[in-house]
Every structure is written in C-alpha cells, then in structure tokens.
C-alpha cells in the first residue's frame, strides 16, 4: 500500500511539474518577455531561491517531526503563486516555481527513500519539467492561450487539493548521518555535485546543434534529454552508481564527438543528462536530515550555469570539444564523489 501511494504521488507531482514549467514558459514569453532583465529575474526567483526555501522546509520538518505536511504546503503555495504570477508578474511566477520545486522535490525524496526506490523517483519527478518548458516556449503564441492557461491552472490546483486530502502523515525518519560542517567527505560531496550541476547546466544551454532546424526536432531533443534524466535513476538503482557513471558519461563523451549528426547528438543529450538524478541521489542519501538543502543547492547550481549564457560569455558552442570535455570532467568528479560516499558510509 505504501509503495502504491508513493508511486501515485510521484506520478501526480511529475505531471504537475510539467504543468508548472509549461505555465511559466507559456506566460513568460506571452506576457513578460518585453524587457531584457525579465528572464534573469525570473530564473533567479525560480532557481536561486530554492536554496533558502530548502533550508526553511528542513527546519520546519525537523521542528514539527513531520515528513509530508511541509512538502505538501510548499507544493500548494507554489501552484497558487504560479497561477497568480501567470497573470500579474514574472517575479511571482518565479517564486511560485521555486516553492513548487522544493515542496515537490522533498515529497519525492521522502517517498523514494521510504520505498527503497534508490533514486528512481528523483529522475521521474524532475524529467517532465523540460518537456513542459519547451512546449510553453514554442507555442505561447497560440490563439487558444487563455483557454490553455485556465485548463492547466485548474488541473494543477486539483492535483494540489488531492495531495493534501490524501496525505497520511508520518513521523520524519532520519536514517543517515546528520550534517556536520567538519565532515570533509560530506563537504567534498556537496562541492563536487554542485560543480557537476553547474557544468551540466552550462553545457546544456551553451551547446548549439546544427540539426535543430524545426520545432518537431527541438521537441524530440528535449524528450531525449528528459528520458535521460529518468533513465539515470533506474540504471543507477539497477547496476550501481559507479558503473552507471563510467558507462553513460564515457558514451556521452563519444556521442558528443559526432554531435552535429542528429542520432549522435540525441544520444549525447540522453546520456549526459543521466547525471541529474545521480547528483541529487548522491547528496540525498548522505544528507537525509536535509533534503530541502540538498535539492536547493543543486538548483542554485543550475542558475549559476545559466549566467554565462545569459550574458553571452558562452553561447553557440560546438558539441565537440565542449560536450566531450564536459562529459569527461563530470565522469571524473562523479566517480570520485561516489567513492567518497562509499567510504563515508562504510561501503568502500
């Protein structure tokens, strides 16, 4: 019963994640894209603010010894603010996005941990956001804009109500070591995962593929990216993190060599984005008392990776050598991180 409820909740949160990111992109490009700083402010609110919000949700959870309520409340606030922001402000839209990601992320982390999914749920929750984002970006000019916005908003509000009414609260469980600022292995893991996320964000936005010539192909590339995020969690749970890191990132480096050929480029996107659930799961299993912080610090890394592209410091990069080098650097850092994690937890 517990596992079925967890799968149901992760599924609903994943659908809602796609809706949230769709509504954000849909409204941003339709209403708020007339000023240069709009996207910088939105991305700051949507991603950088997840770090302080993650710390707040951890403090709330630990003081009240509740596993679900803080996440559900943050999720509900996020949905309501996103719906409101789609009408009035890109800043409110971004804050709503941040609340939803933190709330939904913490709920997914708890369900993944409680049911022994070993990271499968993390990639499943995060992956659909990219699909919603690209659909909202490409089709914001539709004549049916208002009807679509109302339909998506109403669907997400219904999901929030369902999640709240069907919660069965349980005490917070802490099965891992608590945060210790003198724990050098943990500090290494935080910095290493943070660096990999910055690199993944920068690589994903800076590289330009010559074969992206139509909306259909762009959507196909985002589907490959999203499938990679989901597959990374499942492969890691099945074969172990070390094998998954070595095989997927080695193949990613090779695929980027031929990245301007469409099949190889799609393979590169699929393989490289498998690191997403790996970095999150690696932190979560070493910081079970601070899932909000673990989630927030990595999304802050996404924001930092976006800045060089926003300011045109790095843009239009070729898949080779940039993608190949990024894959190999990520491989080295993640392999070292997994080894330190095993040592820290007595498995090395």
Give the mean model confidence (pLDDT) for residues 18-31. 95
Contact assessment for residue 227 and residue 127, using Cβ atoms and an 8 Å cutoff: yes
Percent of the chain with pLDDT over 90: 78
- Locate 336 and state its tokens: 């070292």
Percent of the chain with pLDDT over 70: 93
Give the mean model confidence (pLDDT) for residues 110-133. 92
CA 98 – CA 49 distance, rounded (Å): 6
Whether the CA torsion 332, 229, 312, 193 is positive or negative: it is negative
231: enclosing H helix or E strand = helix 215-239
> Of the candidates 109, 218, 234, 221, which has an alpha carbon nearest to the alpha carbon of residue 173?
109
Give the mean model confidence (pLDDT) for residues 122-138. 95
Q: State yes or no: pLDDT of 172 exceeds 70.
A: no
Question: Strand, helix or coil at 125?
Answer: helix
Q: What is the pTM of this model?
A: 0.94
Percent helix, strand, coil in the chain (nearest 5)?
Answer: 80, 0, 20
In this structure, the number of other CB atoms found within 10 A of the CB of residue 309 comes to: 17
The 10s digit of each residue's pLDDT in 198-227 is: 999 999 999 999 999 999 999 999 999 999
Residues in the chain: 348
pLDDT of residue 345: 78
> Of the candidates 221, 15, 47, which has an alpha carbon nearest to the alpha carbon of residue 125?
15
CA 260 – CA 222 distance, rounded (Å): 16
Residues 6+ apart with CB under 8 A from 114: 2, 6, 173
- Locate 135 and state its tokens: 């659909």
Give the mean model confidence (pLDDT) for residues 81-93. 95
CA 247 – CA 338 distance, rounded (Å): 14
HSE, side-chain direction, 13 A CA sphere, residue 117: 30
Split at pLDDT 50, 70, 90, the class of 165 is confident
- Locate 128 and state its tokens: 């659909």
In this structure, the number of other CB atoms found within 10 A of the CB of residue 49 comes to: 21
pLDDT of residue 183: 74
Q: State yes or no: pLDDT of 80 exceeds 80.
A: yes
Average pLDDT, the chain: 91
Q: How far is CA 40 from CA 35, 54, 106, 257, in A?
A: 10, 21, 25, 32
pLDDT of residue 176: 45
Split at pLDDT 50, 70, 90, the class of 65 is low
pLDDT of residue 168: 67
Residue 317 β-bridge partners: 207
DSSP state, 146? H
The 10s digit of each residue's pLDDT in 326-336 is: 999 999 999 99
Q: State yes or no: pLDDT of 22 exceeds 90.
A: yes
HSE, side-chain direction, 13 A CA sphere, residue 174: 12
Domains of the chain (ranges; CATH) run: 2-165 (1.20.1250), 184-344 (1.20.1250.20)
Give the mean model confidence (pLDDT) for residues 236-249. 95
C-alpha radius of gyration, the chain, whole number: 19
pLDDT of residue 33: 82
pLDDT of residue 37: 86
pLDDT of residue 62: 81
Q: State yes or no: pLDDT of 177 exceeds 50.
A: no
Split at pLDDT 50, 70, 90, the class of 164 is confident
Q: Is 179 left (phi over 0), alpha (psi -120 to 50) or beta?
A: beta
CA 134 – CA 226 distance, rounded (Å): 11
The 10s digit of each residue's pLDDT in 265-321 is: 999 999 999 999 999 999 998 988 899 999 999 999 999 999 999 998 988 899 999
């Amino acid at each position: 019963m517990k596992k079925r409820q967890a799968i149901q909740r992760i599924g609903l949160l994943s659908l809602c994640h796609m809706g949230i990111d769709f509504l954000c992109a849909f409204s941003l490009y339709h209403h708020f894209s007339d000023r240069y700083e709009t996207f910088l402010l939105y991305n700051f609110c949507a991603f950088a603010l997840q770090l302080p919000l993650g710390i707040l949700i951890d403090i709330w959870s630990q003081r009240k010894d509740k596993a679900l309520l803080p996440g559900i409340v943050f999720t509900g606030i996020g949905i309501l603010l996103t719906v409101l922001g789609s009408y009035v402000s890109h800043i409110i839209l971004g804050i709503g996005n941040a609340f939803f990601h933190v709330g939904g992320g913490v709920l997914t982390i708890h369900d993944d941990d409680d049911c022994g999914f070993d990271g499968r749920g993390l990639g499943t929750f995060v992956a659909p956001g990219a699909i919603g984002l690209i659909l909202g970006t490409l089709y914001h000019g539709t004549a049916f804009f208002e009807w679509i916005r109302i339909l998506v908003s109403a669907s997400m509000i219904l999901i929030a109500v369902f999640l709240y009414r069907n919660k069965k609260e349980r005490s917070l469980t802490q099965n891992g070591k608590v945060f210790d600022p003198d724990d050098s292995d943990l500090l290494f893991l935080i910095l290493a995962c943070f660096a990999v996320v910055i690199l993944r964000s920068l690589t994903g936005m800076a590289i330009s593929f010559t074969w992206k010539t139509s909306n259909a192909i762009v959507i196909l590339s985002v589907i490959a990216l999203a499938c990679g995020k989901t597959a990374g969690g499942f492969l890691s749970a099945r074969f172990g993190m070390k094998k998954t890191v070595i095989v997927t990132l080695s193949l990613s480096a090779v695929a980027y060599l031929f990245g301007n050929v469409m099949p190889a480029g799609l393979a590169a996107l699929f393989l490289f984005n498998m690191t997403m659930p790996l970095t999150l799961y690696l932190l979560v299993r070493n910081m079970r008392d601070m899932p909000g912080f673990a989630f927030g610090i990595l999304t802050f890394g996404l924001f930092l990776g976006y800045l060089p592209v926003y300011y045109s410091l790095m843009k239009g990069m070729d898949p080779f050598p940039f993608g190949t080098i990024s894959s190999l650097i990520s491989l080295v850092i993640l392999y070292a991180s997994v080894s330190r994690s095993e040592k820290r937890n007595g498995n090395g």
